[in-house]
Every structure is written in C-alpha cells, then in structure tokens.
Amino acid sequence: MDQDERFQAIISRINAQIPLQEVELDPELTKADSFLKILRVKCYNWNSDILEKVHTLRFTVSVPNLDALNMILYPQKDLDAPIFLIFYLITKRKIICHLNVNTPSNDPAYKEKWVDPLIPILGRYDPFECKDRYPEWMANRRHEPTIYGLFEKERLDELTSLGFDYLEQYLSTLKTCEPVSEPEKLSELAEFHRKFREDIRTQDKAQGMMSKFIGKKKAHRIFYEVTT
C-alpha cells in the first residue's frame, strides 16, 4: 500500500461511519508544487455535521526522498471530543509515525472514554519500540497508546493497520457524542481548539521546511487556511 492508497483507505473508513462533503479550496493551495517539482504538495479538506474539518496534506520531496501523509480530524466545537491526528512520513529506510487522540483535558473521564479503549488495540501488536524525541509542545497531549517516533520500514504495514484500528475506535465513539450547551464547557472547548490550531501554526516544523521550497506566504496560507 502506497501513501495515496493509505490516504484513500482512511477517507473511505471515515465516510463509512461519518459521510463527508469535500470543501472547495483555493486552487493555488490544493496543488502547490515548487520550482523544478522538488517538492509536490496536495491539500484536501472535508466536513460533516460531526466533523468540522478533515484535513489532509500530502507532500513529497525528491531530494532527499520523503513521502508524507498528514491527516487531522477536528470535531465540531460543540462536541466534547478529541482531535485525532494520523501521520506517516516515509524516508528511504525509515518511517516517522504519529498517531494520537488529542484530548481537551487529561481528566480521568477523557482517559476512560477516549484513551483506555486504544490500549488493548495496541496490545494486539508487537511493541513499537523506538528512541523518540516527542516535541515539547505536544507533550501534554501524549497518552499511553500514543505512537510517535522513528521506526524500521518493515513496520509500516503494522503501523498502517494500527492507525486504521485507532481511527475506527475514535469514529465509533465520536458518533455517540451529543452537542454541549453549557456556556462554560463551550468556552473550554473553544480554547482547546484555538490552542491546538495555534500550536500547529507556530510550532510545526513542516511549515518552515515547505517555506524553503514554495515560499513563506504560500506555506503560511496552507497552515492557516487549510491545515487548521
């Protein structure tokens, strides 16, 4: 399974549980290739009555050889639910993978509902051991079943399957969420979404890397208008 097939498989799994509508983006951002095509970028957005945004960023670099798939599922802001992130970056010999439910808080109730069900899923696989360098700005969103790090390429199929399993669990729980009406809770959720988006916009190193190839202005627009 290549990255495009992996991307399509993820979208198909979401659509099977939560039907999506594709959002039209500025053509300048949907395909933002660099001069000489060293960097190729494709962006997509979808939404639904449950998901405010499903973002996909596909980018490939010819030298050095990199092939990335980044997807973020943002629930509607009146749903007391995590933001789900799935990321695969394939290099010549290794894989960087990040799978996580980014919960609005670390309260026991969130752990019981959103995090604990992922633990037995992870237990079905051989340990994904690696010497990771988890970014400090993401640390407070890390959980026991979170996957982050540099892995041997031979583990890609397992990491793909694990990502699918986590996604299915997340979606099945998300569908049971009822909208929140309490002003205080809505304010907390709005701040959670704001902070997550701000961190992606200002801390994610991918924006700086893309800026070198497609220009700071276009990379900025992708991260502010499409990714978040």
CATH code assigned at 123 = 3.40.1500.20
Domain that holds residue 193: 3-227
Which residues make beta-bridge pairs with 92? none
Specify the DSSP class assigned to residue 49.
S
Residues composing the chain: 228
Q: What are phi and psi of 25, to 5 degrees?
A: -115, 160
Q: pLDDT tens digits for 178-207?
A: 999 999 999 999 999 999 999 888 887 777
Q: How far is CA 217 from the centre of its chain?
A: 23
**Is residue 64 reached through a cis peptide bond, with omega within 30 degrees of 0 on the bond before it?**
yes
**Beta-bridge mates of residue 83:** 102
Report whether pLDDT(2) > 60.
yes
Tell the residue number behind the tokens 């704001």, with chain if given.
Answer: 194
The whole-angstrom separation of Cα 44 and Cα 29 is 9
How many domains would you assign to the chain? 1
Bond before 82 cis per omega within 30 degrees: no
pTM equals: 0.93
**Segment 17-61, tens digit of pLDDT:** 999 999 998 887 767 665 556 778 888 999 999 999 999 988 887
